[in-house]
Amino acid sequence: MKMSTKELIICGLFASITSILAQISIPLPFTTVPLTMQVFAVALCGLILGPKLGFISQVIYILIGAIGMPVFAQMSGGISSIIGRTGGFILSFPIVALVVGYFSKKYSSLPMIVVGMILGLITSYTIGTLQFTLIMKVSFIEGLTLCVIPFVLVDLMKIGLATIIGVSVSKRVGMGMKTC
C-alpha cells in the first residue's frame, strides 16, 4: 500500500491528537477504567480521515504506545498497557476508526454517520469488555457493569461532539466524509 507524504503526516498528526486527548483522564472511584477523551479522538479521527487513514492513524498510536511512549491514558505506555485489563479498548481503536470512517465515507446523511459512530462505540465496548473479562476473570455482565454502563451517557455525548466537529471539519478539508 503506497501512501503519500501528506497522508503519512496526517496519520501521524491524528495519532498525536489521540495521544494528547488520552491524557484528559479522570480516574473514577466506582470502576477500574478511567474516563478519557480517547473515544472522542478516535471517532473524530475516523470521521475526518475516513476508513483507511483513520485505521492507520490508530495503528500508529498503538505502536507508539507499544514501544513504551507514554501516550495512553494517565501517561502510560508499553505492551503491559495493551495486554492489561483495559488494553482491549486500546486495541479496538483502529477498528472503531475504520467503522466510523466507513460510514462517514459511504453516507452523507447525518443519521447514518451517527449509526456509524454508535456501531464504533459498540465495537470498542465489546472488544474492551471481552479483554477485561478475560484478564480479570469476571463474567461478561460484570465486565459491562464495570467498563461500559458507567460510561455510556458520557461516551454518547463525546461521539455527539465528535460528529458535530468532525462533520464541520470534513466539509472544510474534504478528506473522509462523503459530501453531497
**What pLDDT digit, counting tens, does each position of 110-145 carry?**
999 999 999 999 999 999 999 999 999 999 999 999
Rounded to the nearest integer, the mean pLDDT of the chain is: 91
pTM flag (> 0.85)? yes
- Which of 128, 131, 102, 127 has its CA nearest to residue 117? 102
54 close to 46: Cβ distance less than 8 angstroms: yes
**From the CB of residue 111, how many other CB atoms can be counted at a distance below 10 Å?**
8
The answer to whether the CB of 177 falls within 8 A of the CB of 48 is yes
- ∠ CA 128-36-29, nearest 5°, is 85
Q: Which domains does the chain have, with CATH numbers?
A: 9-23+31-168 (1.10.1760.20)
Contact 91, 82 (CB under 8 A): yes
Mean pLDDT value of segment 90-112: 94
Average pLDDT over residues 20-26: 90
